[in-house]
């Protein structure tokens, strides 16, 4: 049986381990992970939890702080290398969906909390909480079935955007995945999912028929608009505040657009305002099948000299076009040729045939792996010129040559309606922000300060934050702006109803 060691003291690593080893045979001394050999004061109270019975039924891997592999189990799978110092007490890497149920039941019996790790891509690392059990879903990475005639598929959560499109492509089908190749569907779907071809396909969650989940009692349930609809409502946009583990997504697929094309236009930042003003009007006339964005980013090598006045930064307009007919794609692309300052364009590619592989390669190059990051993506009803100009000088002075500022301008005559039947509730003309990326610890202070100032500068123009890409750890106040008022209250009411004992970490628990 579990015994509690009531200790308020900070333990040295040696004493910590010796206490652990002194625990009854078969028991594991489970405590907060050590940071530099010390227990964080807030978590100095520890307990002995007996894992013997659990180990008989749990098929995956259980890792505890006394094991050499613990650090890797907690932090190894995180995308952002600006690592948190938070730590769970156990990492439970499940082998299958039954394991998820087993570990949630174990947590309930032992009065421990659980947190879920999907792909580990949360920029602010919400999957790592202080104390509790981290349920690592890494091995739930299979496409269970594809029913091509019905355009349906069942997917486990830890499948990347690139893998998903590659699986559907042989059937000429596609799914509204996110933009970067490695990001997993797991937390993307629950956050809402800002997707490729969103103007036509909608957000990722809008192509969900049902989600299989393990709830706070460890029961396997299925949630859809008709079955367990409140779970389904919450799962469509509650992001890191979901009170169940999603184990399978039942999705609707879409015909793969037959004529995908991409255009890029580089302009000097001197011409940015003119381009932006024109684009803001033009975007309304473009079909929703055009994904239009405007960026400030480091200029490619061959343009660096021409951008010297702006510290080597350049303005870029990109259009990704998802049509079935190449003539239609060309027609949409042709509109960008009418820019009033097109003669000043520094470099361009016009309506080049593309596919998901190439789009993922391009996104992968803009958001490289193994970097330290601060990220906030947001919604705004300003014009793209207003939001780029308000922070133009600051953007040019970004300390890192990897940082990008990107604003997507929703195309078509109307901005997308706010969702009525999902926790996700954002609607705006623009979506974007700063992705602050750098390489080394020595650069942390400068980049963190730069990012904070960028957020301060654009704040007056914002009307919301994206729950899937906002720093809700550093800025809990962003949460309220990420789910509109009543919807956040409803999420919390449903949490009380379905997870009354708080088995799942809520938005803020364990994020010291």
Q: How far apart are CA 197 and CA 175, in angstroms?
A: 9
Helix residue spans in 338-460 (DSSP H): 356-366, 384-390, 392-396, 444-458
Q: Binding of ligand FAD at residue 121 (CB under 6 A)?
A: yes
Q: Binding of ligand FAD at residue 197 (CB under 6 A)?
A: no
Q: Are 352 and 262 in contact (CB under 8 A)?
A: yes
Residue number, 233 or 367, with CB nearest to ligand FAD: 367
Q: Least separation, in Å, of the C-beta of 72 and ligand FAD?
A: 16
Q: How far apart are CA 75 and CA 85, in angstroms?
A: 9
Residue in the block written with tokens 């016009």: 350
Q: Least separation, in Å, of the C-beta of 177 and ligand FAD?
A: 8
Q: Binding of ligand FAD at residue 194 (CB under 6 A)?
A: yes
Q: Are 238 and 491 in contact (CB under 8 A)?
A: yes
Q: Binding of ligand FAD at residue 119 (CB under 6 A)?
A: yes
Of 63-71, 173-181, 306-314, 439-447: span binding ligand FAD (CB under 6 A): 173-181
Q: Binding of ligand FAD at residue 160 (CB under 6 A)?
A: no
Q: Binding of ligand FAD at residue 240 (CB under 6 A)?
A: yes
Q: Binding of ligand FAD at residue 184 (CB under 6 A)?
A: yes
**Other C-beta atoms lying within 10 Å of the C-beta of residue 187:** 27
Q: Which two tokens stand for residue 319?
A: 């259009």
Q: How far apart are CA 247 and CA 267, in angstroms?
A: 45
Element (H, E) at 265: strand 259-267
Residue number, 272 or 426, with CB nearest to ligand FAD: 426
- Cα distances (angstroms) measured from residue 210 to each of 124, 197, 229, 252: 28, 21, 10, 10
Q: How far apart are CA 359 and CA 162, in angstroms?
A: 10
Strand 90-93 relative to strand 133-136, pairing = parallel
Task: List the interface residues with ligand FAD, window 246-265 (CB under 6 A).
Answer: 246
Residue number, 12 or 142, with CB nearest to ligand FAD: 142
Judged by CB under 6 A, which of 16, 58, 70, 79 binds ligand FAD? 79
Mention every residue, 6+ apart, whose C-beta is less than 8 A from residue 149.
none
Strand 404-409 relative to strand 347-353, pairing = unpaired
Residue number, 367 or 454, with CB nearest to ligand FAD: 367
Residue number, 194 or 297, with CB nearest to ligand FAD: 194
Task: List the interface residues with ligand FAD, window 431-470 (CB under 6 A).
Answer: 468-469
**Other C-beta atoms lying within 10 Å of the C-beta of residue 162:** 20
Q: Are 377 and 470 in contact (CB under 8 A)?
A: yes
- 465-494 footprint of ligand FAD as x/- string (CB under 6 A): ---xx-------------------------
Q: Least separation, in Å, of the C-beta of 57 and ligand FAD?
A: 21
Q: What angle do CA 358, 206, 252 make, to 5 degrees?
A: 70
Q: How far apart are CA 127 and CA 344, in angstroms?
A: 46
Judged by CB under 6 A, which of 65, 88, 157, 298 binds ligand FAD? 157
Q: Are 66 and 56 in contact (CB under 8 A)?
A: no
Residue number, 389 or 499, with CB nearest to ligand FAD: 499
Residue number, 123 or 498, with CB nearest to ligand FAD: 123
Q: How far apart are CA 509 and CA 504, in angstroms?
A: 9
Q: Which two tokens stand for residue 432?
A: 């974007």
Q: How far apart are CA 497 and CA 477, in angstroms?
A: 24
Residue number, 205 or 266, with CB nearest to ligand FAD: 205
Residue number, 239 or 464, with CB nearest to ligand FAD: 239
Q: Is the dihedral of CA 232, 87, 31, 95 positive or negative?
A: positive
Q: Binding of ligand FAD at residue 186 (CB under 6 A)?
A: yes
Q: At what angle do helices 326-336 and 272-285 cross, to 10 degrees?
A: 140
Q: Least separation, in Å, of the C-beta of 444 and ligand FAD?
A: 18
Q: Least separation, in Å, of the C-beta of 191 and ligand FAD?
A: 5
Residue number, 28 or 424, with CB nearest to ligand FAD: 424
Of 123-131, 272-280, 451-459, 476-484: span binding ligand FAD (CB under 6 A): 123-131
Q: Is the dihedral of CA 370, 374, 377, 383 positive or negative?
A: negative
Residue number, 198 or 289, with CB nearest to ligand FAD: 198
Of 175-183, 348-356, 417-425, 473-481: span binding ligand FAD (CB under 6 A): 175-183
Judged by CB under 6 A, which of 51, 104, 107, 116 binds ligand FAD? 116
Residue number, 47 or 451, with CB nearest to ligand FAD: 451
Q: Least separation, in Å, of the C-beta of 42 and ligand FAD?
A: 20
Q: Binding of ligand FAD at residue 190 (CB under 6 A)?
A: yes
Give residue number: closest CB to ligand FAD. Answer: 118
Binding site for ligand FAD (CB under 6 A): 79, 115-123, 126-127, 137, 157, 178-180, 183-184, 186-188, 190-191, 193-194, 239-240, 242, 245-246, 367, 468-469
């Amino acid at each position: 049986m579990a015994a509690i060691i009531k200790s308020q003291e900070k333990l040295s690593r040696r004493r910590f381990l010796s206490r652990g080893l002194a625990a009854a045979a078969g028991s594991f001394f489970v405590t907060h992970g050590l940071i530099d050999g010390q227990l964080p004061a807030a978590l100095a109270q520890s307990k002995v939890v007996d894992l013997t019975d659990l180990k008989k039924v749990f098929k995956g891997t259980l890792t505890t702080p006394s094991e050499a592999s613990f650090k890797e189990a907690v932090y190894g799978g995180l995308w952002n290398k600006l690592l948190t110092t938070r730590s769970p007490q156990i990492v439970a890497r499940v082998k299958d969906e039954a394991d998820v149920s087993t570990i949630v039941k174990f947590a309930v019996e032992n009065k421990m909390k659980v947190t879920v790790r999907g792909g580990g891509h949360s920029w602010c690392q919400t999957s790592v909480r202080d104390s509790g059990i981290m349920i690592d879903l890494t091995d739930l990475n299979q496409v269970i079935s594809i029913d091509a005639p019905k355009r349906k598929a069942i997917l486990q959560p830890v499948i990347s955007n690139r893998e998903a499109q590659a699986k559907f492509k042989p059937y000429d089908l596609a799914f509204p995945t996110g933009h970067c190749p490695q990001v997993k569907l797991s937390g993307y779907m629950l956050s809402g999912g800002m997707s490729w071809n969103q103007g036509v396909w909608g957000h990722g969650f809008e192509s969900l028929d049902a989600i299989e989940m393990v709830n706070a009692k460890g029961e396997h349930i299925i949630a859809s608009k008709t079955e367990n609809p409140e779970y389904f409502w919450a799962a469509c946009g509650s992001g890191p505040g979901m009170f169940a583990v999603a184990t399978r997504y039942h999705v609707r697929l879409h015909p793969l657009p037959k004529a995908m094309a991409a255009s890029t236009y580089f302009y000097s930042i001197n011409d940015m305002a003119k381009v932006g003003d024109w684009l803001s009007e033009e975007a309304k006339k473009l079909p929703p099948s055009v994904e239009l964005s405007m960026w400030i980013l480091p200029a490619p090598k061959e343009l660096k000299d021409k951008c010297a006045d702006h510290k080597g930064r350049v303005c870029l307009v990109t259009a990704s076009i998802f049509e079935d007919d190449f003539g239609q794609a060309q027609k949409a692309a042709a509109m960008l040729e009418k820019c009033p300052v097109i003669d000043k364009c520094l470099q361009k590619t016009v309506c080049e045939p593309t596919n998901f592989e190439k789009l993922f390669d391009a996104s992968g190059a803009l958001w490289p792996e193994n970097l330290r990051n601060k990220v906030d993506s947001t919604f705004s009803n300003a014009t793209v010129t207003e939001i780029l100009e308000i922070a133009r000088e600051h953007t040019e002075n970004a300390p890192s040559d990897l940082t990008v500022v990107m604003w997507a301008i929703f195309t078509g005559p109307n901005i997308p309606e706010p969702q009525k039947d999902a926790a996700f509730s954002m609607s705006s003309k623009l979506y974007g922000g700063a992705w602050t990326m750098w390489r080394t610890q020595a650069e942390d202070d400068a980049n963190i300060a730069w990012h904070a100032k960028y957020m301060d500068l654009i704040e007056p123009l914002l009307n919301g934050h994206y729950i899937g890409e906002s720093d809700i750890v550093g800025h809990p106040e962003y949460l309220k702006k990420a789910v509109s008022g009543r919807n956040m209250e409803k999420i919390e009411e449903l949490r009380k109803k379905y997870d009354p004992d708080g088995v799942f970490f809520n938005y803020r628990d364990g994020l010291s």
